[in-house]
Structure 1
Amino acid sequence: MRIGELARRAGTTPRALRFYESQGLLDARRSANGYREYDEADYRLVDEILTLQAVGLSLDDTKPFVECLRAGHETGDACANSIEVYQRKLAEVEACMAQLDAVRAGLQDKLTRALARPHSCCGADYADTNETTEA
């Protein structure tokens, strides 16, 4: 199949496929007239790349998964390097969530203290906002 058909099937653009090729993630074969030619294995690689990006992996993070598929494995996460990417990315997400939890707790504390004090300088009634912050 040619680049346009692969792009349509995968739900991406020819430009993205050319970029994946420039990054070494996709290898196009060339027909006699110079057109890029792809097969089902290429479709599987692109699908894997897009699926992994949809769950938050960077394009660089997808390389071990692509290598795993190219090595003949049925799934891109059948190799140890792919598992390591999952573990690293999950640790990054958990660290980010912990940081956000700390920020949320700090903001909640500040808001609780602020709401406990009388507010009359600007005329706004902040007591009503307390109901929406306790969710």
Structure 2
Amino acid sequence: MRIGDAAASAGLTPRALRYYEEEGLLRPGRAPSGHREYGAADLRRLRVIRELLDAGLTVADVRSFADVLDGESVRETECCAVGQVSLRRLAELDARIERLTTLRERLASRIAARFDTVFS
């Protein structure tokens, strides 16, 4: 399957597929003409990558355990690597949420004091 069809099948753009290849997340085969060729395993991998990115992981996060994305079963050491990356990302998200909550409360308080209005 060519890049446009693979991208459409995975719900992505051809540019995203090229980017994932540049980042080492994807290694499609090549036709004798040099065109990328995607198979069923590539489509499964693309869907997993998309799900992980949609869940809040970064490309760098996924790259750190890309070698286990295709496995049917994950060894304990691989599971630990995925877990460590996920826990680190959750901690970073929690910190960002806390900073944004504090910033929101500060802004609401200042607006309320200035304009005598309460913001929930």
What is the TM-score when the length of structure 1 is the normalising length?
Answer: 0.73
CA contact 1:30–1:37 (8 Å) conserved in 2:
yes
Q: CA RMSD in A?
A: 2.2
In 2, Cα distance between equivalents of 1:13 and 1:28: 15
For structure 1, which segment, 26-35 or 61-70, has the greater mean C-alpha deviation from structure 2 after superposition?
61-70
Aligned residue number for residue 39 of structure 2: 39
Corresponding position of 1:6: 6
Larger displacement relative to structure 2 (102-111 or 56-65): 102-111
Asked if 1:73 is matched to 2:72, the reply is yes
* Greater gyration radius: 1
Number of aligned residue pairs: 117
**Cα displacement (A) at 1:105:** 3.0
**Structure 1: gaps spanning 5 or more residues:** 115-125
CA deviation after TM superposition for structure 1 residue 65, in Å: 4.4
Moved more, 59-68 or 34-43: 59-68
CA distance in 2, matches of 1:19, 1:108: 40
Runs (5+) with no aligned partner, structure 2: none
Q: TM-score, normalised by structure 2?
A: 0.80
TM-aligned CA distance change 1:6 to 1:100, over 3 Å: same
Letter in 2 for 1:93: L
